Amino acid sequence: MATPFEELQASASKRWTELTTGENAWIRVGGGTSGQAVGADRVFDAFTVAVESSGAKARVSMVSALGLMYLEPMVDVLMPNGTRIYYGNVKPDEVEDIVDRHVKNGRPLLDRAFAYSGGDGSTTGDLQPLESMPMVALQQRIATRNFGDTDPLDLLQYIANGGYAALNRALTEMTPEQIVEEVKAAGLRGRGGAAFPAGLKWSFLAPSTAPVKYVLCNCEEGDPGAFNDKGIIENDPHTLVEGLIINGYATRSTHGYIFIRQGHEIPINAARKAIEAAYEAGLLGKNILGTDFSFEMEVSLTGDSYVAGEETALMEAIEGKRSTPRFKPPFPAAAGLWQKPTNINNVKTLAYVPELVRNGSAWFKSIGTETTSGTAIVCLSGHIKYPGMYEVPMGMTIRDVLEKIGGGVSEGERIKVLQAGGPLNGLLGEDAFDTMIDFDAMSAAGASIGSGGIIVGNETTNVVDLLRTLIAFNQFESCGKCFPCRLGNTHMLEILDRMCQNKARSADLSLLQRVGTSMKAGSLCGHGQLGFNPIASALKYFGAEIDASIAGELELGGVFSDGTMILPSRTRP
């Protein structure tokens, strides 16, 4: 007699076979926020109409985004012969031609395509294989393994590609203690920025015998330039749901929450639909997959608060309170959400768990560096030729990511500055570009992997003005609970305002450093403790430019068109 999971696998295999074999082509339109922002929904509608009106033998699906955001809207066509042709920057008025020539007559538009995969290559001309493109070949996709291939809202497509096999293995072959030890042995460190060992964090919660325990997933993700947490949820929500269920089983927890900033409707909708589908399939709720493990899950939303990403402020938000940090101790593992034992993990951390459990800790540990195993999911934006979201093995250098994957600078002659890891982390100059992407190496360089965002600035970037923009963000987003953070960010912004206008005072640099020291010592959470980081790293890599601003010799530029300061409307309360 088949087990509940074997029955799900049989249904999933049938669904995948229908999509990928037979006489029908499969037209996949890349969705997600990146695709829909530039019209993927209109392209999808156009394909649907064109297929129906022409009588072409094809299915049309909105699938997950591949991550090559510079090519959105992206479309690929899988033909019955197994050849898959990829088109980039597709417009609705091109759709009928693709359907007529490619789908109906088997003649791909090679002048509009950028790559192919599969098949025998007989109809692909001089197109390059997708797998040979540097921005694809240099990736090692674990959390993003299904991107571009599956419909994120179709549970069976996820299962057909190995989904929930890890959960089944965990529930039927492993004890909770064994899973915690497996995560420890893999060396998985938290991907939210702090890089704390995930297995060790789980071990703090697991021994508690409380009847109600919570595991939370943090997708507040308010960092400018970071979009990988929401990218995972909207492109492959079940990998997060599965990871959170395994987290709940390993820690003997009863409830899980996925915490997302309100207003981001695509990932919110994807998370809710994935949870609903998991309940319907017996993967959530009572006696999951016929075992004695039960687990509940829901989505919780927060307002526009950057500090809500701090773990205790996040719990305050779920409880319906203002998002401000709590004093510790007690720590969340002892008294967290509603004063019950609680663990909090980042989206990326949990998204690795299914493949880690399915393939084993030794497999995961073999990827990356000695101190930082696994991969990093990097979001490239700014003055970069190929912006996008890329998953690369830890240990790759920043320069390789920028030049081999990102294609180098998009405008100007060279890359001058990187803002890496969010507004509470550092600015890196060219001297640091050969640094490995590794938690410890990045920290030594004066920055952090943080949330994964890397904003690239070319040689026209005014570093002091960039600092002012970052501090303005931090000042506006301070929750105000700790006066060293509330007042310190305001004072630093006032000083940077003067520096950007060549009106600085001789004592301003030492004043910045004193304010930063006070913020670090007197703030309750990382927002104030790390608030001076961007300035500290800028002093290391761009000291001459900062000295010039103190001396009144800074070349005005950026938002200063005529030497007059223009501040964002939300900068001051």
DSSP 421-479: SSTTS-EE-GGGTT-BSSHHHHHHTT---TTSEEEEEETT--HHHHHHHHHHHHHHH--
Q: Check residue 211 and give its pLDDT.
A: 97
Whether the CB-CB separation of 471 and 489 falls below 8 Å is answered with: yes
In a domain, residue 498? The reply is: yes
Residues 486 and 531 in one domain: yes
Residue 16 within any structural domain of the chain: no
Q: Exposed, middle or buried: residue 568 (CB in 10 Å: 0-12, 13-18, 19+)?
A: exposed
Tell me the C-alpha distance between 439 and 218, whole Å: 19
What distance in Å separates the CA atoms of residue 36 and residue 33, rounded to the nearest whole number?
5
The kind and range of the H/E element at 418 are strand 415-420
Residues 6+ apart with CB under 8 A from 414: 430, 458, 459
Task: Give the model confidence (pLDDT) of 214-247 as tens digits.
Answer: 999 999 998 889 999 999 999 999 999 999 999 9
Domain boundary among 364, 393, 422: 364
Backbone angles phi, psi at 365, to 5 degrees: -65, -25
Whole-number Å distance between alpha carbons of 421 and 434: 16
CATH of the domain at 395: 3.10.20.600
Q: What angle do CA 126, 76, 104 make, to 5 degrees?
A: 85
Spell out, as residue ranges, where the chain has pLDDT lower than 50. 558-573
537 part of a folded domain: yes
pLDDT in tens, 88-137: 999 999 999 999 999 999 999 999 999 999 998 888 999 999 999 999 99
Residues 304, 186, single domain; the answer is yes
Same domain, 108 and 214: no
Domain carrying residue 340: 163-364
Do 454 and 482 share a domain, yes or no?
no
User: Are 120 and 239 contained in the same domain?
Assistant: no
Residues 300 and 204 in one domain: yes
Q: Is residue 338 part of a domain?
A: yes
In a domain, 109, yes or no: yes
Q: What is the CATH number of the domain that holds 510?
A: 1.20.1440.230
Tell me whether residue 326 is in a domain: yes
Q: Tokens at residue 435, please?
A: 């640094």
Tell me which of 458, 481, 514 is where a domain ends.
Answer: 458
pTM: 0.94
Give how many domains the chain has, as a whole number: 4
Q: DSSP states of 520-570 as a string? A: HHH-SSHHHHTTTHHHHHHHHHSHHHHHHHHTT-PPP-TT-SSS-----TT
Instruction: For residue 296, tell me if it sits in a domain.
Output: yes
Let me know if residue 11 belongs to a domain: no
Domain endpoint, select from 424, 439, 458: 458
